[in-house]
Homo-oligomer: A and B are copies of this chain.
Amino acid sequence: MTYCVGMVLDRGLVFMSDTRTNAGLDNISTFRKMTVWEQPGERVITLMAAGNLATTQAVVSLLDERSKSPEHREPSLLAVPSMFQAARMVAETLREVIDQHGDGGLRSDSTFHATLVIGGQIAGSPPRLFMIYPEGNFIESGQDTPFFQIGETKYGRPILVRAYDPAMSFEAAMKLLVVSFDSTLKANLTVGPPFDFHFYEADSLRVGHRGRIEPEDPYFQQVSKGWGDALKEALEILPDYRFGE
């Protein structure tokens, strides 16, 4: 499994992904699931992937190759005129990769399926965030659904639903994401640290805060340990039930 979250904030776009991949419980590895393309001052695009690792790596490699060799630059993520076209290109590439496996195309029940989140900004337009389904179609985030989760989405969802606020700072958003990821990895062995993050500042058109939170990271440890106590205190605040006799 995998857990990735992409969020739209007033301040910009926020991405976090875990790094655990598994083919069976006794065959786990660590792989980066987040890729960032940058044309400084012109565009920054971030892609996160959940699903079959061979599929998602092939998608990223194809997109990457095209963006690196100038003679094959069309079509390239660094050349498309809008984030909508970027999402279409990624979806097309996903289709291309899965078609090669010849098991009948893009289906969420295919062995080779993948779900993707892509977000970023191209000069002249606001930041945008999309989720691409295994079938190759995609949706854009909006005011009512300002974040997307892919992979093991359930354990980490309640805290996102309750505490997300578009006006929150990047520092508070990181805290929220660490809590959401911590709840998930405590419940699902196929989600694991380290966690990659990218906090893109709106209109900067440059890669923002980008890094990795290791399991031994003091901040991660502090939040992971502190959250249990904080939750208990939150419960304390609420009144106990009173049984009618």
CA distance A149 to B222 in the complex (A): 29
Interface pair B243/A171, CB less than 8 Å apart: yes
Q: How far is the CB of A169 from chain B (nearest CB, A)?
A: 7
Q: A170-B243, A187-B158, A219-B241 are in contact. Are A176 and B226 (CB under 8 A)?
A: no
* Copies of this chain per assembly: 2
Interface residue tally for chain A (C-beta within 8 Å): 44
With a cutoff of 8 Å between Cβ atoms, the chain B residues found around residue A176 in the complex are 235
Whether A72 is near chain B, meaning CB under 8 Å from some CB there, is: no
Whether A25 is near chain B, meaning CB under 8 Å from some CB there, is: no
Which residues between 203 and 245 of chain A lie within 8 Å of chain B, taking CB atoms?
209, 211, 219, 222-223, 226-228, 230-235, 237-244
Interface pair B175/A161, CB less than 8 Å apart: no
With a cutoff of 8 Å between Cβ atoms, the chain B residues found around residue A28 in the complex are none
Give the residue of B157, B163, B175, B238 whose beta carbon is less than 8 angstroms from that of A240.
Answer: B175
**25 contacting pairs across A/B (C-beta < 8 A):** A154-B187, A155-B155, A158-B159, A158-B183, A158-B186, A161-B186, A162-B232, A163-B232, A163-B235, A169-B240, A170-B243, A172-B240, A174-B240, A174-B243, A175-B235, A175-B238, A209-B243, A211-B244, A223-B239, A226-B238, A230-B235, A230-B238, A231-B234, A233-B234, A233-B237
In the complex, residue of chain B having the shortest beta-carbon distance to the beta carbon of A231 = B162
With a cutoff of 8 Å between Cβ atoms, the chain B residues found around residue A171 in the complex are 240-243
CA distance A242 to B228 in the complex (A): 21
Whether A191 is near chain B, meaning CB under 8 Å from some CB there, is: no
In the complex, residue of chain B having the shortest beta-carbon distance to the beta carbon of A232 = B163
Whether A199 is near chain B, meaning CB under 8 Å from some CB there, is: yes
Task: Contacts A161-B186, A175-B239 known; list 8 others, CB within 8 Å.
Answer: A157-B187, A158-B158, A159-B231, A162-B227, A163-B228, A175-B235, A219-B241, A231-B234
With a cutoff of 8 Å between Cβ atoms, the chain B residues found around residue A187 in the complex are 154, 157-158, 161
Whether A178 is near chain B, meaning CB under 8 Å from some CB there, is: yes
